[in-house]
Amino acid sequence: MYRKLLFVVALFAGEHSAFAQTMVSSDALMPMKPFETGERVAFVGNSITEAGYYESYVWLYYMLHYPGRRITVYNCGIGGDRAKNMLYRLDDDVLAKKPTTICLTFGMNDSGYYEFLSSNADSTAKERVRESRLFFDTIEQKLKAYTPAKKVLITSSLYDETVKNPKNYFPKKSLAMDEISAFQQSAARANHWGMVDFFHPMTAITLREQKRDSTFTLTGPDRIHPGNAGHFVMAYLFLKAQGLAGKPVAEIVIDAAGKKIGKAVNCQLSGLTVVPGEVKVDYLAGSLPFPQDSIPRLRDNPQRQTGALDVVPFNEEMNREMLTVGGLAAGEYTLTIDQVQVGKWTGDQLSGGINLALVKNTPEYEQAMAVLWLNEERMELESKLRAYYWLQFNFFRDNGLYFSDNGAAMDSLNVTAEKNWFVASKKDNYRAARYAAVRRSWQKEMDVLVNEIYLVNQPRKHTIRIKKVS
C-alpha cells in the first residue's frame, strides 16, 4: 500500500516510476456494481464536475452499451466548492433530487493554492486538510443517514505539479491532496461505500507520458482543470471501477469454411448464407459502439476526447464490436452493411478480427453519433441550470437573496458583476434563469432530449455482407 513517503520520493526525488505503480488500495473496499435500470445518480463536486464531461461520458456509455437500461445522471457540481460548500448545499442541491446513488468528489479546492507559495506553506496545508476532514465528517453522517442511496467517494483529479508550464505552480499541493484522498479511502472502507480513484492513476499516466513529452498534461494551462481527454480518462476509470472492462459491444465469429456461426456475444445472428466468395448474415447487436469525439469542447483547452485513447485502453477494454470470419479464401473482400460499403480487408485480416466500433461509416456508428449529439444538446441546457445554481450557492446565499430571484437580486448581481468576473460570466444567463418558467422549460427540453436518446439508441437489425473482390 502506498503512503506519503512513497509519494514524496515519487514527485520530488525523481523516482516517478515508483509513484506510477501506486493506486488506492482496494483492500476491504466494497466492489462497485454497474448502475441498474431506474437509477438516479448525482455526481457532486466542484468546477471539474460542473464542467459536466466526465459524468456525461459515463452516462453516454450507459446510453450506448445498455440501451434498455435507462438511468438518470445529475450534474451537481459547483465551481470553487470545497467539502464545506458541498455540506451547505447537500439538502437543496443533491438530496432534493432523491438520488439512488451519490458520487462525491472533493479535494482540489480544499487543499488550497497560493498558500503553497508562502513561508508557512506546510502548516497552512495541514490546516486546510484538517478543515476539509472536519466538514467531510458532517457530510459523512448526513450520507449515512440518507439510506435510499448508495454512496461512492471519488478522489480529486490530479493537480499537475510536474508539467513544463510556468503558470499556477503551487509546490507540494499534491501532497495535501494525497492526504485528503487518504481519509476519503478510509471513510469508504469504514462505511462499505464505493471508491473510485482519479488522483493516483491520472498522476501515474502523467508522469509516464511526461518522460516522453515534458509538456504532456491531462489538465489545461492552469494545471487544475482537465480537458476533454482528462475527463474521458476519469470516465474510463469510473467505468472500470464498476467492473465494465471486458464487456463487448458485440462479438461475431463466423466459420465460412464450415458455413456456421462460431460465436455470437451480446448480439443475435440469423440467416447465415455462405457461397463461394461471399458471406451474408443478419445482425442485431445488444449495444452500440462508443463514438470517438474529436472536437475540443471546453473553453481555453484544446484537448479532445480522442486524445485519451492514446493513454488508456478504452477501446480495447470497453469498445469492441468484433467481426471475425475464418475460412475465407485468400484475397481482398469488401464489407457492406445494409448495402453501404464500409471498407475492404483481406481474408487474413478478417480471420484475425475487425473492430467495427472503430469504423466510422457503419450504420451503427452513425446511430451512436446521433446519441452523442443529443447528449451534447442536453448538456448545453444543463450548464445553464448549473450557472443559475452557482449564483444561488456562491453569491445570493451570502447576500440574503437566496432563491429570491427578484429585481433586488438582479440589481445586486449587476453591481457585483462590474468587479467580479465569475459573477459577470453568469449575469446574462441569470437574466433568463431567474424566471421559474424559463428553468422549467429548460428542464422539459432536457427531458425531451433524454426521451429521444432512449428511442434513437435502440439497436437495429443490419445485414452484413462480405464479398470477395474480383
Are the C-beta atoms of 309 and 238 separated by less than 8 Å?
no
Question: Which residue has cell 448525482?
Answer: 42
- Are 167 and 215 contacting, i.e. CB atoms less than 8 angstroms apart? no
Non-local CB neighbours of 451 within 8 Å, separated by 6+ positions: none
**Where does the pLDDT of residue 15 fall: very low under 50, low under 70, confident under 90, or very high at 90 and above?**
very low
What pLDDT digit, counting tens, does each position of 132-162 carry?
999 999 999 999 999 999 999 999 999 999 9
368-406 tens-digit pLDDT:
999 999 999 999 999 999 999 999 999 999 999 999 999
For residue 392, the model assigns a pLDDT of: 98
Closest CA to 200 of 170, 233, 223: 233
Residue whose C-alpha is closest to residue 163's, from 119, 115, 218, 122:
218
Read off the pLDDT of each residue in 302-325 and give the average, rounded to a whole number: 97
- The pLDDT tens digits of the residues spanning 277-294 come to 999 999 999 999 999 999
Q: Which pLDDT belongs to residue 299? A: 87
Cell of 72: 438518470
> 10 Å Cβ neighbour count for 212?
7
Q: b/e string for 21-55 if b means 16 or more Cβ within 10 A?
A: ebebeeeebbebebbeeebbbbbbbbbbbbbbbbb
pLDDT-derived band at 131 (thresholds 50, 70, 90) equals very high
Confidence of residue 2 (pLDDT cuts 50, 70, 90): very low
Residue corresponding to grid cell 445529475: 74
Phi, psi of 433 (to 5 degrees): -65, -20
pTM over 0.85: yes
> DSSP assignment of 270-323, as one string?
EEEEEETTEEEEEEEESS-------S--STT----GGGGGGTS-HHHHH--EEE
What cell numbers appear for 86 in the block?
458541498
pLDDT band, residue 29 (cuts 50/70/90): low
**Cα–Cα nearest to 44, from 192, 159, 248, 184:** 184
- What SS3 class is residue 154? strand
- Indicate the SS3 state at residue 72: strand
The tens digit of pLDDT for each residue in 236-247 reads 999 999 999 999
Q: Which helix (H) or strand (E) holds 252?
A: strand 250-255
pLDDT at 189 over 80: yes
pLDDT at residue 184 in the model: 98
Set out the domains of the chain in order of their start, with CATH numbers.
4-241 (3.40.50.1110), 250-285+320-470 (no CATH)
Place of cell 515508483: 18
Q: Is the pLDDT of residue 12 over 50?
A: no
Query: What pLDDT band is residue 470 in, cutting at 50, 70 and 90?
Result: confident
The DSSP secondary-structure symbol of 327 reads: S
**Tell me, what's the pLDDT at 31?**
81
Which residues, in sequence order, are CB contacts of 391 under 8 Å at separation 6+? 413, 423, 426, 430
